[in-house]
Chains A and B, each alone.
Chain A
Amino acid sequence: MRISSNVVFQSGITRISELMSSQAKLQQQIATGRKIQSPSDDPVGASRALQIRHSSSINDQYALNRQTAASNLVTEESTLASVTNLLLSVKSAMVTAGNGGLSDTERSFLAMEMRGALDQLIGLANTRDAAGNYIFAGYQSQAPAFVKTATGATYQGDSEQRLLQVGATRYMEIADSGAEIFTAGGNDIFQTLHTFAELLDTPITDAAAAAAFSAGLQAAQNSIDQGLETVLAARAMVGTRLNELEALEEFGQELSLQYAQALAGTEELDYAKALSEISQQQIILEAAQKSFVKMSSMSLFNYF
Chain B
Amino acid sequence: MASSILDIGKTALNAAQVGMSVTGHNIANAATPGYTRQVVIQGTALAQNFGYGYVGQGTRVLDIQRVYNEILAKQVNNSLSSSNEMSAYATQMRYIDNLLSNANAGLAPAIQNFFTSIHTAAANPGDPASRQTMLSQAQSMAARFQALGSRLAEIEGDVNTLVTASIGRINSYSQQLQQLNISIEAALNNGVGAPNDLLDQRDQLIAELSKQIKVDVTEQQDGTYNVFIGNGQPLVVGKTRYTLTTMRSESDPTRLEVGYNGNSGPVLLNSNSLSGGELGGLLQFREKSLDVVRGQLGVIALTLAETFNAQHMLGYDKSGNAGGTFFSVPGPVVSGNVSNSGDAVLDVTINSAGALNGSNYRLAYDGTNYILTRLDNGSTQTFASLPQVVDGLEIAISSGSMQPSDSFLIKPAIAAANGFAVAIGNIDEIALAELPSAGNGDNGNALKLAALQTALTTAGGTTSYEGAYGQLVSLVGNRTNELNIMSEAEAAMLEGAYNAQQAYSGVNLDEEAANLIRYQQAYQAASKMMQIASQLFELLLTIGH
> Could you list which residues of chain A lie within 8 angstroms of chain B, going by C-beta atoms?
1-7, 11, 14, 37-44, 46-47, 50-51, 53-54, 57-58, 61, 64-65, 68, 131, 133-134, 137-142, 158, 160, 162-165, 168, 171, 175, 299-301, 304
B441 within 8 A of A: yes
B401 within 8 A of A: no
Asked if A141 and B126 sit within 8 Å, CB to CB, the answer is: yes
Interface string of B472-484 (1 = CB under 8 A from A): 0110111111001
A208 to B109, CA, bound (A): 77
Known contacts: A7-B506, A133-B124, A142-B440. The answer to whether A50 contacts B469 by CB under 8 A is yes
Instruction: List 15 other contacts, CB 8 Å, given A64-B119, A304-B513.
Output: A2-B503, A3-B503, A6-B30, A46-B473, A47-B470, A47-B474, A50-B466, A54-B464, A54-B466, A57-B112, A133-B440, A139-B444, A142-B440, A162-B441, A299-B510
- Chain B nearest CB from A152 CB (Å) reads 23
B414 within 8 A of A: no
User: Which of B433, B504, B507, B513 interacts with A299 by CB under 8 Å?
Assistant: B513
Classify the secondary structure of B's interface with A. helix
- Chain B nearest CB from A283 CB (Å) reads 23
A38 to B97, CA, bound (A): 6
Contacts of B439 in A (CB 8 A): 137-142, 158, 160
B47 within 8 A of A: no
Asked if A38 and B31 sit within 8 Å, CB to CB, the answer is: no
| A-B residue pairs in contact (CB < 8 Å), sample of 17 | A3-B503, A4-B508, A6-B30, A7-B499, A14-B495, A38-B480, A39-B101, A40-B476, A43-B480, A50-B108, A51-B470, A58-B112, A58-B453, A138-B439, A160-B441, A164-B122, A164-B123
Asked if A131 and B127 sit within 8 Å, CB to CB, the answer is: yes
Q: Please, how many residues of chain B have a CB less than 8 angstroms from a CB on the other chain?
A: 66
Asked if A165 and B508 sit within 8 Å, CB to CB, the answer is: no
A139 to B438, CA, bound (A): 8
Asked if A46 and B477 sit within 8 Å, CB to CB, the answer is: yes
Contacts of B484 in A (CB 8 A): 40
Contacts of A160 in B (CB 8 A): 435, 439, 441-442, 444
- Chain B nearest CB from A269 CB (Å) reads 15
A54 to B508, CA, bound (A): 60
B115 within 8 A of A: yes
Contacts of B437 in A (CB 8 A): 139-140, 158
Known contacts: A2-B503, A7-B503. The answer to whether A162 contacts B443 by CB under 8 A is yes
> Could you list which residues of chain B lie within 8 angstroms of chain A, going by C-beta atoms?
30-31, 93-94, 97-98, 100-101, 103, 106, 108-109, 112, 115-116, 119-120, 122-124, 126-127, 433, 435, 437, 439-444, 447, 450-451, 453-454, 464, 466-467, 469-471, 473-474, 476-481, 484, 495, 498-499, 502-511, 513-514
Asked if A138 and B30 sit within 8 Å, CB to CB, the answer is: no
Contacts of A131 in B (CB 8 A): 124, 126-127
- Chain B nearest CB from A43 CB (Å) reads 3
Asked if A40 and B474 sit within 8 Å, CB to CB, the answer is: no
Determine which residue in A42, A58, A139, A162 has the highest number of CB atoms from chain B within 10 A of its CB, and name it: A139
A64 to B451, CA, bound (A): 15
Known contacts: A54-B108, A131-B127. The answer to whether A43 contacts B94 by CB under 8 A is no
Known contacts: A58-B454, A64-B119, A142-B440. The answer to whether A50 contacts B470 by CB under 8 A is yes
Contacts of B120 in A (CB 8 A): 64
Q: Considering the complex of A and B, which 8 residue pairs feature the smallest CB-CB distances, nearest first?
A: A4-B506, A39-B477, A141-B441, A139-B439, A43-B477, A40-B480, A142-B440, A38-B101
- Chain B nearest CB from A198 CB (Å) reads 34
Asked if B495 and A65 sit within 8 Å, CB to CB, the answer is: no
User: Which of B440, B444, B447, B464 interacts with A141 by CB under 8 Å?
Assistant: B440
Asked if B499 and A5 sit within 8 Å, CB to CB, the answer is: no
Closest to B510 in A: A300
Determine which residue in A11, A57, A68, A142 has the highest number of CB atoms from chain B within 10 A of its CB, and name it: A57
A6 to B36, CA, bound (A): 12
Asked if B433 and A39 sit within 8 Å, CB to CB, the answer is: no
Asked if A133 and B126 sit within 8 Å, CB to CB, the answer is: yes
A97 to B128, CA, bound (A): 50
Determine which residue in B474, B476, B505 has the highest number of CB atoms from chain A within 10 A of its CB, and name it: B474
A109 to B440, CA, bound (A): 40
Contacts of A5 in B (CB 8 A): 30, 506-510
